[in-house]
Structure 1
């Protein structure tokens, strides 16, 4: 995934240490089977600031978080970011291995990111709001 923010800069993102390790392993395991998806995820992980779980700021998009976001000029949509085995688009659960899922990872409300879709079109994802989901609430206890 080629990602860009204003004037070609990428938005700053943070990822919890426990998720970083699991996501890194996932990208490594997927590298041969789906290099495009693995590369998208790896690119986001490479540029992320890794933060201890207890120090993660609220409102940062992570596994289990629910985002309201807009892609290009489309209507806003809401989805939960999940690991691939939990993905179910009919339940608005987006895998972190999809282009949208990888783009959401680590973003906060007000941030945007651009990437080139598989068809070569430039796309822009803008986060409107982030709330913790069940997985994050349970982790914080």
Structure 2
């Protein structure tokens, strides 16, 4: 009798992989928001910085919402709220769970979140630059409306 081990990467181990269909425009918007979040979040040193960080995030959302090519809710209070296409999912992303009290209390958690988002951002940029992962849903669809199926674990 031979024993075989199944690695965590082996597809036999996972019965279901949940994916979210995103347009190229949605992914580009999400990547830009995550990049801004990381840029602002890497410079937090004090409680005052964290309070200012949340105001800075709100300014980013308002600025990006003025771009008609971005799918952002201009009334959003934070990055998680800005990405309306994530709101109704049975998945609560790191950004949707982030609040000012948790960020003030736990610098280690902040760094873990920022590092995780940096890794996801690299994946977003790879997907955005690769034609192989995008599919048009209809004839003559503009590139911004081509779609891909992103595993939910890559959501911010």
TM over 0.5: no
- Please state which structure has a larger fraction of its residues in strand: 1
Greater helix fraction, Structure 1 or Structure 2: 2
Q: Which has the larger radius of gyration?
A: 2
- Which protein, 1 or 2, shows the higher relative CO under an 8 Å CA cutoff with sep ≥ 6? 2
